[in-house]
């Protein structure tokens, strides 16, 4: 479908609130732990967005339960460890996810700045939800955005784009093969950007937000379409949880 915000400075603009997705992950989809993959092609004028089934791949290393433990996200049966990532931040400094976010709830998303829909919508929804948090809860949560299009998403481009949503959001980047390896180790599908015949660039990537708990393990997965209210409900619960026993 055509959904064409025009690009200006190389990064897609923030969509208005009225365009934000409503919570649309049905129970059958969630119970099957089916994630969505956004295949986005930007021509420089119009953008094309398609959503496709990711084949049941998830970041749990196995199955999961929608709404488990009172959370709105999918609670995985097997909790993968938070990786170091070993990428660089928007200033070009080495970035170790575990060290930089020690003791925090981490919301990790893989996407890119020219994405016309899923990526800016997700970042806008997270920013809106965090804006509703009490300061003592807000400071316990870190949002990290890893670009899947590092050739076009330079440090300054990524930093400028994220500031549209929340100045505290952390942008990281690195060689595509390294980003792909880190994403796929967490169960996030990611394909190398491809230039189409019309000159547009197709970037296919998983659209889930991965929430890590204080014990540095995956706590929940939030699919595309998760509502702002769902995040508002869940974030204080995640922040209130102590480091729990490791799940296998």
Taking only the tens place, the pLDDT of each residue in 167-226 is 999 999 999 999 999 999 999 999 998 888 888 888 888 989 999 999 999 999 999 889
Residue 216 CA to residue 236 CA, distance in Å, equals 17
166 has a pLDDT exceeding 60: yes
Residue that has been written with the tokens 């969630």 in this structure = 30
Q: pTM of the predicted model, to two decimals?
A: 0.77
Which 3 state secondary structure label does DSSP give 241?
Answer: coil
Cβ contact 120:111 at 8 Å = no
Cβ contact 66:233 at 8 Å = no
* pLDDT higher at 136 or 246: 136
Least trusted range by pLDDT, from 58-67, 153-162, 223-232:
58-67
161-165 contact pairs (CB < 8 A, 24+) = 161/11, 161/12, 161/113, 162/90, 162/123, 164/13, 164/14, 165/14, 165/120, 165/123, 165/124, 165/126, 165/127
86-89 contact pairs (CB < 8 A, 24+) = 86/174, 86/178, 87/146, 87/172, 87/173, 87/174, 87/178, 87/179, 87/182, 88/155, 88/172, 88/173, 88/174, 89/155, 89/170, 89/171, 89/172
DSSP letter assigned to residue 246: P
pLDDT band at 19 (very low <50, low <70, confident <90, very high): very low
All domains of the chain in start order, with CATH: 59-190+207-240 (3.40.30.10)
Cβ contact 72:234 at 8 Å = yes
Least trusted range by pLDDT, from 32-46, 64-78, 122-136, 218-232:
32-46
- Tell me, what's the pLDDT at 118? 92
Query: If you average pLDDT over residues 110-115, what whole number do you get?
Result: 94
- Tell me, what's the pLDDT at 52? 29
Residue 108 CA to residue 185 CA, distance in Å, equals 13
62 has a pLDDT exceeding 70: no
139 has a pLDDT exceeding 50: yes
């Amino acid at each position: 479908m055509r959904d064409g915000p025009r690009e200006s400075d190389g990064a897609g603009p923030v969509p208005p609130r009225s365009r934000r997705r409503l919570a649309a992950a049905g129970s059958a989809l969630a119970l099957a732990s089916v994630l969505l993959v956004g295949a986005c092609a930007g021509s420089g004028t119009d953008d094309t967005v398609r959503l496709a089934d990711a084949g049941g791949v998830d970041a749990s290393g196995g199955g999961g339960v929608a709404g488990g433990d009172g959370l709105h996200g999918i609670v995985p049966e097997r909790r993968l460890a938070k990786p170091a990532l070993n990428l660089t931040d928007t200033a070009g400094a080495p970035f170790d996810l575990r060290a930089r976010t020690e003791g925090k709830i981490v919301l990790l998303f893989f996407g890119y700045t020219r994405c016309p829909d899923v990526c800016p919508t997700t970042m806008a929804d997270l920013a809106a939800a965090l804006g509703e948090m009490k300061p003592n809860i807000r400071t316990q949560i870190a949002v990290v955005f890893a670009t899947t299009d590092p050739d076009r998403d330079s440090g300054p481009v990524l930093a400028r784009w994220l500031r549209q949503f929340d100045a505290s959001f952390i942008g990281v980047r690195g060689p595509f093969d390294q980003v792909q390896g880190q994403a796929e180790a967490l169960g996030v599908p990611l394909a190398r950007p491809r230039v189409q015949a019309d000159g547009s660039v197709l970037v296919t990537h998983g659209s889930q937000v991965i929430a890590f708990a204080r014990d540095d393990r995956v706590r929940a997965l939030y699919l595309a379409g998760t509502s702002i209210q769902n995040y508002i409900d869940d974030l204080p619960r995640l922040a209130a949880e102590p480091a729990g026993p490791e799940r296998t």
